[in-house]
């Protein structure tokens, strides 16, 4: 007899049918897309920019390389990678949500980021690229929203060149008990109210807090990456473990 639980996944603290999760997540990002960057600055007090800069510095990206920015949203990492790889390189921003993709395209165009950046609407679980194509792949604050994380990681491993690296920048588990209490209070009480004021949507930011709690912790994600085939996997905690950057290589 088939196991019915195999068709169930987490959407925050709720249990939903797997096939429905992508649509539920997509609805959230359609709602918040226009003020996504503003909310990121407000929620993190601008610290998300430091986290992303650290990810870029850890990427090893060089001129002429091919970079894939998965769940790239409004293009913060894409813009930085585009400057590094130059006109002989290539950066592909992939996002499953067309609202986020459109905001990202317009934002980068306004910044003058043209020529070496391409935009693709696609699901991270089934990336539409050749095997062994990219020198580096990044996914920033997107993995926790993916229905089948292992499938997405395998897809990223497939399109990564041998010797290439994956960077996973994601919310994680605070390593200090006192910080955990403060973080929980901020996440479950402040964020939804902030979302209500700025976006007129508290539910999306309640989901944000819940999705972070349901995401694998640092060591669990490290093991997941190793199990799908990444090697030399390591992670660096930032802001006391509120965010972690995981790195893995393909050999």
Which domains are present in the chain?
Answer: 35-173+216-249 (3.40.50.150)
Binding-site annotation, residues? 74, 95, 123-124, 140
Residue 146 has what pLDDT?
97
- Give, in order, the Cα–Cα distances in Å from 29 to each of 26, 40, 98, 103, 142: 5, 13, 9, 11, 11
Over its C-alpha atoms, the chain yields an Rg (Å, rounded) of 17
User: 101: which residues sit within 8 A by CB, 6+ positions away?
Assistant: 93, 95, 119, 121
Packed helices 203-214 and 18-32: angle between N→C axes, nearest 10 degrees: 130
Query: What is the reported pLDDT for 1?
Result: 47
CA–CA separation, 43 and 53 (whole Å)? 17
Q: pTM for the whole thing?
A: 0.95
Half-sphere exposure of 93 (CA within 13 A, CB side): 29
pLDDT at residue number 3: 58
Distance CA 114, CA 90 (A): 11
pLDDT for the residue 4? 55
Local confidence pLDDT in tens for the 251 residues of the chain: 455 556 899 999 999 999 899 899 999 999 999 999 999 999 999 999 999 999 999 999 999 999 999 999 999 999 999 999 999 999 999 999 999 999 999 999 999 998 999 999 999 999 999 999 999 999 999 999 999 999 999 999 999 999 999 999 999 999 999 999 999 999 999 999 999 999 999 999 999 999 999 999 999 999 999 999 999 999 999 999 999 999 999 99
212 vs 229: CA distance, rounded Å = 24
DSSP-assigned beta bridge partners for residue 231: 249
Strands (E) in the chain, as ranges, are 8-11, 14-17, 66-70, 90-95, 117-121, 134-140, 160-171, 231-238, 243-249
Residues at the binding site for S-adenosyl-L-methionine are: 74, 95, 123-124, 140
The β-bridge partners of 92 are 68, 118
């Amino acid at each position: 007899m088939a196991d019915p639980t195999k068709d169930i996944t987490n959407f925050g603290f709720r249990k939903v049918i797997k096939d429905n999760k992508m649509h539920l997540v997509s609805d959230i990002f359609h709602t918040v897309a226009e003020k996504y960057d503003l909310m990121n600055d407000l929620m993190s007090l601008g610290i998300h920019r430091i986290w992303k800069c650290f990810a870029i510095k850890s990427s090893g990206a060089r001129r002429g390389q091919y970079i894939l920015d998965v769940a790239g949203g409004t293009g913060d990492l894409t813009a930085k990678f585009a400057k590094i790889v130059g006109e002989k390189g290539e950066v592909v921003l992939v996002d499953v949500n067309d609202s986020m993709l459109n905001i990202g395209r317009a934002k980068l165009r306004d910044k003058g980021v043209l020529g070496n950046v391409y935009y693709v609407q696609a699901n991270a679980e089934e990336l539409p690229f050749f095997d062994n194509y990219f020198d580096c792949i990044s996914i920033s604050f997107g993995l926790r929203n993916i229905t089948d994380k292992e499938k997405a990681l395998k897809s990223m491993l497939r399109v990564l060149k041998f010797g290439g690296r994956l960077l996973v920048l994601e919310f994680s588990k605070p390593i200090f008990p006192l910080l955990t209490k403060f973080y929980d209070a901020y996440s479950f009480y402040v964020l939804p109210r902030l979302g209500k004021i700025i976006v007129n949507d508290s539910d999306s930011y309640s989901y944000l807090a819940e999705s972070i709690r349901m995401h694998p912790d640092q060591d669990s994600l490290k093991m997941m990456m190793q199990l799908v085939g990444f090697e030399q996997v390591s992670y660096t905690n930032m802001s006391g473990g509120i965010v972690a950057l995981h790195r893995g290589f393909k050999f």
